[in-house]
Structure 1
Amino acid sequence: MDIKQFERISKALGDPHRIRIMQQVGKSPGCMQCADIVEMIDLTQSAISHHIKQLTESGLLIAEKQGRNIKYAVDKDVVDTYTKFLQQLKG
């Protein structure tokens, strides 16, 4: 992981709503649609969409198009790489 990607992920995780979205999507056994997330988190659909866009652009969420819908899943490889990068910081 390069420093730019680390910074992008850190900024994406710097918002409590995005952390809650990551928690909800991570708990899901499959992929989640934006509408599913709206039902679980007390934010408007447009706010959820904005946060999902940030998480997707940082690489934390994977967007999978299924017909007319887009479903989201946590990219576990990116989260693992980010965690390893953080571990390296402590020496």
Structure 2
Amino acid sequence: MELKQVEKISKALSDVNRLKILQYMQKNQGKVECTHACGLLSLAQPSISHHIKKLVEAQLINQHKIGRNYHYSLNHEVWDHYTQALNSL
């Protein structure tokens, strides 16, 4: 993994709300729906969407559209590469 990607992921992880989303996903078989994330955090839906967008841009989570709703899942491959890159620093 390139250092630029490590930097992007690190920036995405620098917000406590994004960490809470990832923590919830870990407890929920690596998945979450945007509507469930709204109940998890005391934030408005646009704020949740912003945080999820940052995680998607960092490739930490994948988004899937099912009907009118988006579902998100952890990208274990990117997470594993990220942790390996950190260990090699």
Which TM-score band (shorter chain)? over 0.9
2:72 corresponding residue in structure 1: 72
Unaligned runs of 5+ in 1: none
2:81 corresponding residue in structure 1: 81
2:50 corresponding residue in structure 1: 50
SS at match of 2:14: coil
Whole-angstrom CA distance in 2 between matches of 1:38 and 1:54: 16
Whole-angstrom CA distance in 2 between matches of 1:52 and 1:30: 14
TM-score relative to the length of structure 1: 0.92
TM-score relative to the length of structure 2: 0.94
Whole-angstrom CA distance in 2 between matches of 1:55 and 1:30: 13
* 2:32 aligned with 1:32: yes
Whole-angstrom CA distance in 2 between matches of 1:26 and 1:65: 20
Shift of 1:8: 0.6
Indicate the percent of aligned positions where both proteins have the same amino acid: 43
Shift of 1:70: 0.8
Q: How many residues align?
A: 89
Whole-angstrom CA distance in 2 between matches of 1:30 and 1:13: 16
8 A Cα contact 1:26 1:73, kept in partner: no
SS at match of 2:88: helix
Instruction: Give the CA RMSD over aligned residues.
Output: 1.0
**4+ residue runs of structure 1 moved beyond 4 angstroms?**
none
